[in-house]
Structure 1
């Protein structure tokens, strides 16, 4: 499997860690990490806020040469250095194929990426405007959700490695369904996704690997066993009963 995909395995070089009592190694998901096998098409990291899923995703992206705040490998800017040193302790097993395209999306810093695109496009000698590959319209002139969709539909070209951190942050449920459909188109065009998400819609992709980050560490689970799925299902099956429990005083 490893040779047929862009990234097949992630290993924590535990012998290089001097202490598991300091951040980010103190996070339960990282403290217990040895190695993770990635799906050749779709891998999800899920868990509560602060569980370490975004920290791990960021480290994977930086290890692969992406800018810590997002963008392609050609982006090299930083508004504030905040990423951890975890990438220095990861070993990534890559396949024999190399992606033609690639992108790291961080929902919380996509605004900074949009600003960097505008800054680079101000240089008349820099070649064709970068914004053209995002549909030709400034990402700042669109809603957060519209700019995400422009990224997915216009910038992502297939045969790529796409690392997405909470892409659902600005998307309505209907738009999440549209993104799920677009991801499938890209998978059919030999793309691989690694995603951190809270969305039970996005993580429903068939035959995906789902890794849950929790206080017990990191483990692979089935979609139906994910708390995100179970809580959403229970609420929608009887919202009045759930609301009564939540609001009982």
Structure 2
């Protein structure tokens, strides 16, 4: 579990530094930070803490691993200095906070309502596994880009070495055969990683614009990249059922 442990230790220290008042981008993250330069609503925010992953990385025996684009729009009353989540991070490590399913917490829902982004992820996992009682704490979510913005208005092209170190090498140590990536920018990642071309996933989609490709990872896992026009989240009920059949989970 060397890569997972190293990742957890790095981000625990990095977020502790941010919470302590040093909000600059560390040199180790510089190439990742500079790999996206959105403007307008896509401008990166450094006044809220980065969120490279959420979920329980260590000791998770039944993970469903999903990859998104970035943490999305910031909510400063939670993620900026003095915010609810920042105050929590003063008393716990980032890895502990990330494992607590914070975006389905009472604090979040009382002030911001149900988080549709995360609820869609939870629903996807339950449908995929045909398990209505699937525990949301078993979800593991990594981002292509760890900094908040209200939209994605430019290309996201993190270097392959960065994605190996901060995403795929740690995921290789999780006990799961499939890694699900949502959003068109993920289609450009396999080439930068030097992966084989992959194959189109044959499924009877109900969404005409849906694309899905399967890329074998060195870990033996399959990276399944999916997207549809105007949406970078998991598929709905009928297409999740089609996905499960295509993966022979049914």
> Shorter-chain TM-score category?
under 0.3
Larger proportion of strand = 1
The structure that has the greater radius of gyration is 1
- What's the TM-score once normalised by structure 2's chain length? 0.28
Question: Structure 1-normalised TM-score?
Answer: 0.28
